[in-house]
A and B are shown apart, each in its own frame.
Chain A
Amino acid sequence: MSEITLENALNHCIDQLASGSSVEDCLRLYPQFAVELRPMLEAGLLARRAQYNALEVSAAQNRVRSHVVGAMMGQQANTSSGAWLRLVATFVVIVVAVLGLVSASVDSLPGDPLYSVKRLTENAQLLLGDAAVLREQFAQRRIDEINTLLAQGREAEVEFEGDVEAINGELWRVAGLSVRVPSATPDIADVQVGDKVHVRANTTSTRELVASRVTLVEDRIAPLLPSLTPTATVTPTLTPTPTRTLVPDVDSDGLPDSADLCPTVPGAVINDGCPLPTATYPQVPTTDDDDDHEDDHDNSGRGSRDDDHDDREDNSGPDGGGDDDD
């Protein structure tokens, strides 16, 4: 107690007052300083008495409350809009980056780092535009790319689609491109001239295009077969021989010369490569009011054309009809 100073006593009393004690309680703790402490504490307590009335404080509190709530809500809104802005900015950056890549990928060729971007862009375009027109454009683009690679003697893995225009042993012509199709290439037995195929191949440094896989996309002959079934003579010729497309076909009727009974005259497969006699075609209604033939609509349409062109060229009619079916 000998170390107690007026300063310490005052400090302790202030704490006591803060915790609810009275001035008298404090003075009892420090009787030796009571005379001095009393007016000091009473003076200090003026800072408490000087406080503004509860009515003013309450009114201010109510008014300021709306600002604080507004700040809370406003910050939420700012955070939300900030998040949106960040999202939009990110999107813009991505779009700009993608557009840059897309732009840079336009002239890329198979094997180039950006080629996958080019193909990805094409797939996206297919979803957004006229798919049929675009497919045609892109198919031609593949051919152009291969021609460029061949011209540059660059090795790359490529793929393209097109009609089989000629087959001469291992040398095929597909979509205007000369392709070597090794005899060991799987699933090529059924492919014949006129078929649409998808080809996976490699360009070589010797400027050769070598197929690794040929997939039949459309068989130009098969769809015609059902339309010919009315005649009993059709059936035996339905099954194509596996090897015929790999041998020369001078008249380009789809039947190899070795199996073609008329190798120099285009004919029907079902007639061993010879032109079909007109009598084998289904009966064609001659008048539009013959309702009994409604079920023969498909055949009648084709028959009508045949009737209009009753010559040997009519044998290409089924091919033309096949194209129609496509």
Chain B
Amino acid sequence: MEDRLLALARDGDQNAIMEIYDRYFSPIYQFIRLRTDDSTLAEDIASEVFVKLVSALRGRNAPRHSLRGWLFQVARNELSRQYGKHKCYPTVTLDEWIPAASENQPETQFIQSLRIESARAALRTLTSEQQEVLILRFGQALSLEETADVMGKSVSAIKSLQLRAVNALRRVLNGDSVNE
């Protein structure tokens, strides 16, 4: 389905391009939005991603397969361009992370009771790659291979990374001071 849509878009079918937009705007925006605390900036970056797609389709250098992965890759590059080489993404320090599981409350129950804002803040205490892998794998349901492509890593590296990421998040949620 995705390949058929992409083939149509490559042939200049504007309806196909808009269908791609409608299908992928939300996941792309969410990915960007969770990496920044500025909704306007997130909107601008998302816009840039799809304008780049239109441009790539015209220039015949659009992907032939893995459109979703290509879009996330462009979004990631745009984020990186926005925040620079030092990846100064908005973060939340452990000191700022107030909610913590109390000793008499089961961890799972505590996680489930977290407010959305707290969940976002907890995520932002992680490293950039840890955040990305969790957003892509859990949040956007990308496959291991797609995630590896987007992040430019091997499949095994992503496997290890996602394990480290969930453990790091657990430690944050439990109020541990060590990130990994």
Residues of A near any B CB (own CB < 8 A): 6-8, 10-11, 14-15, 17-19, 38-52, 56-57, 60-61, 63-65, 67-69, 71-72, 75, 79
Q: Number of B interface residues, CB 8 Å?
A: 51
Q: State the 5 A-B residue pairs at the shortest beta-carbon distance, nearest first.
A: A18-B141, A47-B134, A47-B139, A47-B138, A44-B138
Contacts of A68 in B (CB 8 A): 17-18, 21, 47, 50-51, 54
18 new A-B contacts, CB < 8 A, other than A44-B137, A46-B122, are: A10-B162, A17-B141, A18-B143, A19-B141, A42-B111, A43-B111, A43-B170, A44-B134, A45-B138, A50-B116, A51-B33, A51-B139, A52-B39, A61-B22, A68-B47, A71-B50, A72-B14, A79-B58
Return 11 A-B CB contacts under 8 Å, by A number.
A19-B141, A42-B111, A49-B116, A49-B119, A52-B33, A57-B25, A68-B21, A68-B51, A68-B54, A72-B17, A72-B54
Contacts of A63 in B (CB 8 A): 43
**A11 and B162 contact, Cβ closer than 8 Å, known pairs A46-B119, A71-B54:** yes
Q: Quick one: CB contact mask for B97-135 with A, threshold 8 Å, 1 for yes?
A: 000000000011001101010011011000000010011
Contact A64 B173 (CB under 8 A): no
B167 interface residue, CB < 8 Å from A? yes
Contact B123 A64 (CB under 8 A): no
Contacting residue for A7 out of B22, B46, B160, CB 8 A: B160
Contacts of B120 in A (CB 8 A): 50
Contact A11 B159 (CB under 8 A): yes
**A39 and B107 contact, Cβ closer than 8 Å, known pairs A44-B138, A46-B123, A50-B139:** yes
How far is A45 from B139 in the complex, measured between Cα atoms in Å? 7
B77 interface residue, CB < 8 Å from A? no
**A7 and B163 contact, Cβ closer than 8 Å, known pairs A63-B43, A71-B55:** yes
Q: Which residue of A lies closest to B108 (CB)?
A: A42
Contacts of B51 in A (CB 8 A): 67-68, 71
* Interface residues of chain B: helix, strand, loop or mixed (majority): helix
Contact B43 A64 (CB under 8 A): yes
Interchain Cβ contacts within 8 Å, total number: 133
Q: Quick one: CB contact mask for B55-95 with A, threshold 8 Å, 1 for yes?
A: 10010000000000000000000000000000000000000
Contact B134 A60 (CB under 8 A): no
Interface residues of B in 136-168 (CB under 8 A from A): 137-139, 141-144, 159-160, 162-163, 165-167
How far is A176 from B156 in the complex, measured between Cα atoms in Å? 99
Contact B25 A61 (CB under 8 A): yes
CB distance from B1 to the nearest CB of A (A): 16
Contacts of A71 in B (CB 8 A): 50-51, 54-55
Contacts of A43 in B (CB 8 A): 111, 166, 169-170, 173
B5 interface residue, CB < 8 Å from A? no
